[in-house]
Chain A
Amino acid sequence: MIEQVSVFLENSTGRLAGLTRALGDAGIDMHALMVADTAEYGVIRIVCDTPRRAKALLEGLGFSASLTPVLAVEVPDRPGGLADVLDALGNAGVNVEYAYCFVEPSGQAAVDVFRVDDPACEGVLADAGFRVLSAKDLYITDPE
């Protein structure tokens, strides 16, 4: 599992800009950002370096941030790549709450991020031949 920073935002002008600017000013690099929104509020999901520091920083600035464990899987960047992973999860009876994908510029592969209700599925995917990524594979982790 990796740590995703989740932020609850009201839909108001400049709020997302403020959030991303704050991370930028602190030198925290983002690898992925995903917005799920309704008319009144949005949920921002971020994969970034030093997520704990990012969370603390945002909270200090009055944002409502939390850390959510999510599953990151490397998927070959070819047609059907994501479907294969979802099939494997489905066969193992794992429910996916939400998912999003990003491509790391360095690699040939895409990274699929899943919010799942069963942490044991990491083993299921590894057994099925998928490469489950660790935090260190994706971002600079927080100093212990």
Chain B
Amino acid sequence: MPRPQLEDLQLRRLRDLLAKVYANVPLYRDKFDAAGFDPESVTSLADVARIPFTVKDDLRSAYPYGMFAVPLKDIVRVHASSGTTGQITVVGYTRGDIDRWSDLMARTYASGGMDAEDIMQVSFGYGLFTGGLGAHYGSERLGALTIPVSGGNTKRQVQILKDFGVTALGCTPSYALLIAETALDMGIDPRDLPLRVGFFGAEPWSENMRRQIEQALGITAIDIYGLSEVMGPGVAAECVHQNGLHVFEDHFLVEIVDAETFEPVPDGEYGEVVFTTLTKEGIPVIRYRTRDISRIVPGQCACGRTFRRMERVTGRSDDMLIIRGVNVFPSQIEQVLAGVEGVAPHYQVVLSKRGSLDHVEVQVEVAPDFAFDEVRALERLQKSVKSAIDSALAISINVKLVEPKTIVRSEGKAKRVVDLRNE
């Protein structure tokens, strides 16, 4: 679609959306009124910059149904985020939303080179998480044979890949690597299988990891992007040129804003990604701040699509980490340490890869007044720190005790995390 036509469509959809949420969602009405923003006053896409942002806390405070823009009888499905940092957030879909979502995921697959002849193994988790069912419905919509394996039981995953003649795989990138390793352990070279393409998302990954996956499985690895607050997978996806993710701009308005001033930045510059859903009925979101850091890739894509591309997400504007699929904030670790005697509140989290899995080492300073002439006491301390963090975060970590005053102090924002996973 030519850009002028696309932008005309976006503006029409945006105006409809603003009128609808102003009428149906008290949270938006209050927000707009408080900011002196009149939804009727939007006459060009540039006016978007005047609309107040929506943040995760808005969704939390509306738990469970407060942000739904239609009566519950029109909602046919809900999904939810994990709620690692507090209240889970619930998102609802109308029949029409599921329909459009399926179309967008089918589009994701098609732009990555898949078609109705393919046999797709969906190894994203099925459940409240949007990954599994999102990937599933899209694959069916495309007309591909769809195998709903869900996550886990990796040996069985490999067996099905092999026995069912699977040609396309959908899962997290780290799980793709685990599947490849497991296959080799089982005496199966995944490169000999008919598998030819994979759609990977739901966690940050690097170009390096893409090459590893492509090498290990003998496939083309496509990066896909989405988040439950906006829809789930199918918000943006790479095409076969693997050079940035085309944002499906007929359904989502994308902005990149400065992560501190929240002013829009020009294409090509990094900032926080902000989405407005143009067609969602159940839970439309207006200028939703994702906290994901990326940029618009300038220029035209060789594929000819006019949708702009966002670069793979390089980081977060808050300090959230995604470790083995679990959202972790360093502040959670800080909180745990504050409750353990014998350690100082100084710590550093070092993330690395052991095989295909994330390895987490939390370095903790022993308190200067700790009686450290006894190895046993230190070992006890190490164990109690580990079990406290493990149970608070629901992931298994390693604790390394370090000498007092050795963790680098910072005068500004402390550098709590060293992420070596992409190196």
Contact = CB atoms under 8 A, between A and B. Distances in A.
Contacts of A37: 375
A130 interface: no
B379 interface: yes
Interface in A56-113: 62-64, 66, 68, 97-98
B91 to A, nearest CB: 44
A4 B373 contact: yes
Contacts of B336: none
Given A64-B368, A64-B404, A115 B378 contact: no
B360 to A, nearest CB: 15
A63 B373 contact: no
Contact of B403 (A9, A68, A115): A9
Contacts of B370: 8
B403 A63 contact: yes
A43 B373 contact: yes
Interface in A1-42: 4, 6, 8-10, 36-38, 40-41
B400 A40 contact: yes
* Main DSSP-derived SS at the A contact region: strand
Contact of B366 (A64, A68, A98, A115): A64
Contact of B372 (A64, A97, A98): A64
A13 to B, nearest CB: 15
A43 B402 contact: no
A43 B400 contact: no
Of A41, A45, A66, most buried by chain B (CB within 10 Å of CB) is A41
**Interface size range of chain A in the complex:** 20 to 34
B35 interface: no
A62 B405 contact: yes
A75 B401 CA distance: 37
Nearest to A62: B405
Nearest to A98: B374
B406 interface: yes
A8 B366 contact: yes
Contact of A40 (B376, B401, B405): B401
* Main DSSP-derived SS at the B contact region: loop
B6 interface: no
Nearest to B400: A40
B371 A10 contact: no
B403 A97 contact: no
A86 to B, nearest CB: 19
A97 B377 CA distance: 11
Nearest to B376: A97
Contacts of B402: 10, 41
A66 B372 contact: yes
Nearest to A70: B373
Given A9-B403, A62-B405, A43 B368 contact: no
Contacts of A6: 372-373
Interface string B388-409: 0000000000001111111000
B406 A68 contact: no
B375 A38 contact: yes
B342 to A, nearest CB: 12
A68 B371 CA distance: 8
B379 A8 contact: no
Contacts of B401: 40-41
A63 B370 CA distance: 13
B352 to A, nearest CB: 16
A36 B375 contact: yes
Contacts of A10: 402-403, 406
Nearest to A38: B375
Given A8-B403, A63-B403, A64-B403, A43 B379 contact: no
A47 B378 CA distance: 21
B103 to A, nearest CB: 53
Given A8-B403, A62-B405, A64-B403, A43 B366 contact: no
Given A40-B400, A40-B401, A8 B406 contact: no
Nearest to A65: B372
10 contacts: A8-B404, A9-B403, A10-B402, A43-B372, A43-B373, A43-B375, A62-B406, A64-B372, A64-B403, A97-B374
Interface of B: 366, 368, 370-376, 378-379, 400-406
Given A6-B372, A43-B374, 20 more contacts: A4-B373, A6-B373, A8-B370, A8-B378, A8-B404, A9-B403, A10-B402, A37-B375, A38-B379, A41-B401, A41-B402, A43-B375, A43-B378, A62-B403, A64-B366, A64-B403, A66-B373, A68-B371, A98-B374, A115-B373
Interface of A: 4, 6, 8-10, 36-38, 40-41, 43, 45, 62-64, 66, 68, 97-98, 115
